[in-house]
Amino acid sequence: MREKLVIGLAAVVAILLSYNLYNIFLVLPDEVSQGYIYRIIYFHVPAAIVGMLGYFAAMTLSVLYLASGKFRYDSLAASIVEVSVVFSTLNIVTGSIWARVIWGIWWTWDPRLTSALVCVLIFAGYLMMRRSIDEPTQRARLSAALTIFGCVDVVIVWKSIEWFRNNHPGPVLSIRTGGGHIDPAMEHMLYMNFLALLLMGTVLVLIRSRQESTAREIDSLRRNAHV
Amino acid sequence: MDARNFTFMFYGFLAAWLIVLVYIVSLARRGSRLRKELEDVKQLISTAPENRS
Amino acid sequence: MNLFAQALAVARKDLAIELRTKESLNAAGSFAIVILLIFSFAFESFSDEMNEFGGGLLWLVFAFAGALVFNRGFARELPNECLDTLLASPLSAAGLIIGKAFANFAMLLVVELVSLIVFGIFYGIDWLSKGAWLSVVFALATWGVSILGAVFGALTVNLRLRELMLPVIIYPLMIPLLIAAIELTNTVLNQHSVSGQMEWIRVLVASDIVFTTLAWMLADAILVN
């Protein structure tokens, strides 16, 4: 049943991504001041949003773990964090390449970029820490605390373009600005690709969390057999 | 400027897809390793029941 | 006993032990001085550039020395099952963590004071003329890192790789605090007015409030055996 869901979702993602890529490259016009390079926004922004949503989801699951003690919340949180780190890395790398063209530099230490990098460092540290702790309860408790504290930085990333002076462009999505900052067709494609990346992330999380259950099964078999 | 824009856009998309691809490959490898380990542990338990105290 | 009284009791106990043994203070203090010495080979002292780098140098030193202090915080409770005894006592988990944070805060402030004196001597900086804002910045930033050190010190106390894991985990979390502290310290070093940099003070205050609240709320979940 679960395999069918994963395969079905993966098929939907493939179709949606193909359709989106066709539109991104062949249908949408160039941006007035940036030319071709702006099309990277259709991966850069959705990846950022999927990443941040993932961290908040992991934080919710962490709270649920601390409240209930059930390991499946911890496993799911870890899977989501791993996939979110991938998307956040994608966000930073695509942003850096875009910045090289538009700003002339690969990196700058403005609040948004700095806090985004710190976010990746926090959750990469989370993943590294999980690998080095064998005892499940300790690992889960530390992971939960780290996710909750780490999400403070996610809030800083999200709000940094409003709170601080920045090189990074300000908000453009209509849900944040009330409209007028971006062409509706471009905004529509942003949401479409956000959906595609969100579904891709879901597929990856489903696969990863299945692996976590397998790992837990191996662990408990070993424990019961004193192997 | 336009040609350079196009090259960098290509690199940008390439980087994005490479990151996703590398992750999917690592996920697949971890999955097959875990499946094998599960089989091995199940085998070990079924062939040596007298080890249990 | 209310939370504050419990925390003070824990802090008093830890500081009494520390005054007797001086293990954290000696280690962290010597470490801080050695790092400052090494930095003096990297950067030219008695130059105006020191006003640009001084804040960054100092807070790097405090972050590294702080890790040594935070490591000892809960680790000193491991022998003779002292940690289990503390958890079994009527002391609340939040009281224990905040008490450890108070102790961390006091010890780190001592290390910072010593470092400031040494830094002033090595780099020719007169701290006393820098005004009261410096104390405010130091107090706010030190509290933020102390509460992080207490929470994650508690979580990593039983780990095999505690000395490695604790810095790896808390340094990224500390970055917003460190950036704000560095910016404000550099502002003070350059004799500029802090009132033009109030956003960093807000960052420090907000971080302190958020981290302390999270520590208080999560204490029971963190320390339950």
pLDDT over 90 (residue A59)? yes
Q: How far is CA A12 from CA A8, A161, A203, A206, C69, in A?
A: 6, 33, 10, 15, 53
- Cα angle for residues A151, A155, A161 (degrees, 5° grid): 150
Rounded-to-integer distance, Cα B36 and Cα B30, Å: 10
Rounded-to-integer distance, Cα C45 and Cα C38, Å: 12
pLDDT over 60 (residue C139)? yes
Each residue's pLDDT tens digit, A152-208: 888 888 887 777 777 777 776 767 666 767 778 888 888 999 999 999 999 999 999
Q: Does A47 touch chain B (CB under 8 A)?
A: yes
C161 contacts A125? CB cut-off 8 A:
no
Rounded-to-integer distance, Cα C43 and Cα A125, Å: 31
Placement of tokens 């990863």 in the chain: A208
* Predicted pLDDT at C46: 66
pLDDT over 80 (residue A33)? no
Residues 81-100 of chain A whose Cβ lies under 8 A from any Cβ of chain B: 83, 86, 89-90, 93-94, 97-98, 100
| DSSP 8-state code for residue A31 | B
Each residue's pLDDT tens digit, A197-213: 999 999 999 999 999 99
Q: Does C209 touch chain A (CB under 8 A)?
A: no
DSSP C22-77: -HHHHHHHHHHHHHHHHHHHHS-TTSTTHHHHHHHHHHHHHHHHHHHHHHHHHHTT
Angle between helices B2-47 and A41-68 (to 10 degrees): 30
Rounded-to-integer distance, Cα C49 and Cα C179, Å: 18
Chains B and C touch (3+ CB pairs under 8 A): no
A132 contacts C173? CB cut-off 8 A:
no
Q: How many CB pairs under 8 A join A and C?
A: 67
Q: Does C151 touch chain A (CB under 8 A)?
A: yes
* Predicted pLDDT at C94: 93
pLDDT over 80 (residue A227)? no
Across all residues in chain A, what is the average pLDDT?
Answer: 88
| DSSP 8-state code for residue B41 | H
Each residue's pLDDT tens digit, C46-105: 666 777 788 898 999 999 999 999 998 888 888 888 888 888 888 899 999 999 999 999
Residues 48-67 of chain A whose Cβ lies under 8 A from any Cβ of chain B: none
Mean pLDDT over residues C150-159, rounded? 91
DSSP A93-135: HHHHHHHHHHTSSS----HHHHHHHHHHHHHHHHHHHHHH---
Output the six-digit token pair for C199: 């956003």
Split at pLDDT 50, 70, 90, the class of A48 is very high
Each residue's pLDDT tens digit, B7-35: 888 888 899 999 999 999 999 999 999 99
* Predicted pLDDT at A166: 73
* Predicted pLDDT at A67: 92
* Predicted pLDDT at A43: 92
C151 contacts A152? CB cut-off 8 A:
no
Q: Backbone phi, then psi, for C40, in 5-degree steps?
A: -65, -20
Instruction: Collect all residues of chain A within an 8 Å Cβ-Cβ radius of residue B37.
Output: 218
* Predicted pLDDT at C31: 93
pTM for the full predicted model: 0.90
| DSSP 8-state code for residue C124 | T
* Predicted pLDDT at B51: 53
Q: Identify the top-confidence range among A93-102, A164-173, C211-220.
A: C211-220
**Nearest residue, CB atoms, C165 vs list A114, A129, A148:** A129
A141 contacts C155? CB cut-off 8 A:
yes
ipTM surpasses cut 0.85: yes
Q: Does A168 touch chain B (CB under 8 A)?
A: no
Q: Does B30 touch chain A (CB under 8 A)?
A: yes
Nearest CA in chain A to C213: A149
pLDDT over 80 (residue A214)? yes
Indicate which of C87, C152, C163, C169 best probes the interface with A, i.e. most A CBs within 10 Å of its own CB: C169
Mean pLDDT over residues A43-51, rounded? 94
Long-range own/partner contacts, residues C23-31 (CB < 8 A, 24 or more apart):
C23/C72, C24/C68, C24/C69, C24/C72, C24/C107, C25/C107, C25/C110, C25/C111, C27/C68, C27/C72, C28/C65, C28/C66, C28/C68, C28/C69, C28/C107, C28/C108, C28/C111, C29/C65, C29/C110, C29/C111, C29/C114, C31/C64, C31/C65, C31/C68
For residue C96, give every residue at least 6 positions away whose Cβ sits within 8 Å of its Cβ, in sequence order, or none: C6, C10, C86, C87, C154, C219, C223
Q: With contact defined as beta carbons under 8 Å apart, do A125 and A153 qualify?
A: no
Of A34-38, A167-171, C156-160, C197-201, the poorest mean pLDDT is in A167-171
Nearest CA in chain A to C202: A163
* Predicted pLDDT at B19: 94
pLDDT over 90 (residue A23)? no
Largest CA distance in chain C: 56
**Where do the structural domains in chain C lie, given as residue ranges?**
3-223
